[in-house]
Copies of this chain bind each other. A is one copy, B any other.
Amino acid sequence: MDLKEEALEIHEKAKGKLSINSKFKVKERRYLSLLYTPGVAEPCKVIAQDKSAVYKYTGKGNLVAVVTDGSAVLGLGDIGPEASLPVMEGKALLFKEFGGVDAMPICIDSKEVEDIVKTTVLISPGFGGINLEDISAPRCFEIERQLKEKLDIPVFHDDQHGTAIVVHAALINALKVVCKQIQEVKIVINGGGAAGTAVTNQLINAGAKNIIVCDKNGALLDEPSFIATHHEELASRTNPNRESGPLSQIIMGADVFIGVSKGNLVSQEMVVAMNKDAIILAMANPTPEIMPDIAKAGGARVIATGRSDFPNQVNNLLAFPGIFKGVFKCKAPQITTEMKLAAANAIASMIPGEALNEENIIPSPLNKEVVDVVANAIEETYENSNC
């Protein structure tokens, strides 16, 4: 049976991938009295007096809402809230299996920013964190911004920040392999959507000085006359040398290419035109921007993709379970820039110097040791910020 058939069969047999279970067996009346009426009134009364006690007596502090509108699901696009549910269940499954974090899909039947924000705010009392998932740009930026402003629990758009963290982690180690500094390299990012924007911000926060973002019209340039509103800020923070033209031109002399858009966009010739010891992080899935063998033939030194059948799989699974495990441990009210940088460094640190080479820049997504290293980095960062 091929993977597609088996995937359908396994989903049908299980009828969903999640199960909500009681932590207690209710075998005698006393348990009913303790866990339900009349005993349950006691924690209710304490929380009614002091809202923060909800973390002490309920599961709120370990529960993430995986919120989507189904508008940008995998490479499938806008398939709607029902069709997105298998992905959201999968995400919740990974939260639990890797991070020990409870997560619940919330598939919202509206594409309006106002509806998505209001619904998420209104259901937030029962959740300890919000993971936004597969919401298309540019709405995802505004939704995240408003939720961060309105909520006192962590809000994290994984397609943005999860991707940014794992790409950054891969880049940290790739740069070590080629002995270059992030401050000095020319980085070309293809894709100005959710992931491209977040990767750009993360790398600027990490010290990158020369990033050029390309979309389908070529290099983003800070010229109001032809730039989309949601690209204005991105353009103002990038392309310091005001390069213009298509990707094939911009990539000339680049040290790093990061693809977070569509597959099959980069040719061998384009890699040949890059600087010596080029780094290619081709994240498009399932077809990367360039296949590793072609990039290699063009002279690239370090190549990573999102795929499990090539070396250096860069996968968000390395980030999100540890990030929420971390903020939940320390009860941080938000996920800060410093935390995202610390998470990337923590993931990169999982490959010690002696193991580091072109084909081993990032741990396997299935390495369950990563989650605690990330969680501890988050916790430490939060505690230092409160000193």
A interface residue numbers (CB < 8 A to B): 3-4, 6-8, 10-12, 14-29, 32-48, 51, 54, 56-63, 73-76, 79-94, 96-98, 102-110, 115, 118-119, 121-126, 285-286, 308, 317, 365-366
What would be 26 A-B contacts, judged by CB atoms less than 8 Å apart? A7-B33, A7-B41, A11-B57, A15-B58, A17-B35, A20-B63, A22-B92, A24-B93, A26-B93, A33-B308, A40-B87, A43-B86, A44-B73, A45-B79, A48-B83, A54-B83, A58-B89, A106-B123, A106-B126, A107-B123, A108-B123, A109-B122, A115-B118, A118-B118, A119-B122, A123-B123
Contact A59/B107 with A26-B94, A366-B29 known, Cβ cut-off 8 Å:
no
Q: Closest Cβ of chain B: how far from A29's Cβ, in Å?
A: 5
Q: Which residues of chain B are near A125, meaning CB under 8 Å?
A: 80-82, 85, 107-109
Task: Knowing that A11-B42, A15-B61, A23-B93 touch, tell me 18 more A-B residue pairs with CB under 8 angstroms.
Answer: A3-B38, A7-B34, A7-B39, A7-B43, A8-B42, A15-B56, A16-B63, A17-B24, A21-B96, A32-B308, A36-B94, A37-B286, A40-B90, A47-B82, A58-B89, A60-B82, A107-B125, A109-B121
Closest to A119 in B: B122
Contact A84/B42 with A23-B14, A24-B17 known, Cβ cut-off 8 Å:
no
Query: With the chains together, A206 CA to B157 CA distance in Å?
Result: 53
Query: With the chains together, A365 CA to B31 CA distance in Å?
Result: 12
Contact A59 B89 (CB under 8 A): yes
Contact B123 A285 (CB under 8 A): no
Cross-interface CB contact of A26 among B63, B97, B105, cutoff 8 Å:
B97
Query: With the chains together, A94 CA to B21 CA distance in Å?
Result: 10
Query: With the chains together, A320 CA to B221 CA distance in Å?
Result: 61
User: Which of A8, A12, A91 has the most B CB atoms < 10 Å from its CB?
Assistant: A8
Contact A76 B41 (CB under 8 A): yes
Contact A16/B20 with A8-B42, A73-B44 known, Cβ cut-off 8 Å:
no
Q: Which residues of chain B are near A83, meaning CB under 8 Å?
A: 44-45, 47-48, 51, 54
Q: Which residues of chain B are near A16, meaning CB under 8 Å?
A: 23, 57-63
Q: Closest Cβ of chain B: how far from A65's Cβ, in Å?
A: 10
- Chain A residues touching B, majority SS: helix
Q: Closest Cβ of chain B: how far from A212's Cβ, in Å?
A: 29
Closest to A95 in B: B20
Contact B20 A103 (CB under 8 A): yes
Contact B25 A97 (CB under 8 A): yes
User: Which of A18, A107, A115, A125 has the most B CB atoms < 10 Å from its CB?
Assistant: A125
Q: Which residues of chain B are near A6, meaning CB under 8 Å?
A: 34, 39
Query: With the chains together, A46 CA to B9 CA distance in Å?
Result: 12
Closest to A19 in B: B21
User: Which of A57, A124, A308, A366 has the most B CB atoms < 10 Å from its CB?
Assistant: A57
Q: Closest Cβ of chain B: how far from A171's Cβ, in Å?
A: 22
Q: Which residues of chain B are near A107, meaning CB under 8 Å?
A: 123, 125-126
Closest to A106 in B: B123
Query: With the chains together, A171 CA to B14 CA distance in Å?
Result: 41
Q: Which residues of chain B are near A24, meaning CB under 8 Å?
A: 10, 14, 17, 93
Q: Which residues of chain B are near A33, meaning CB under 8 Å?
A: 3, 7, 308
Q: Which residues of chain B are near A98, meaning CB under 8 Å?
A: 26
Contact B3 A79 (CB under 8 A): no
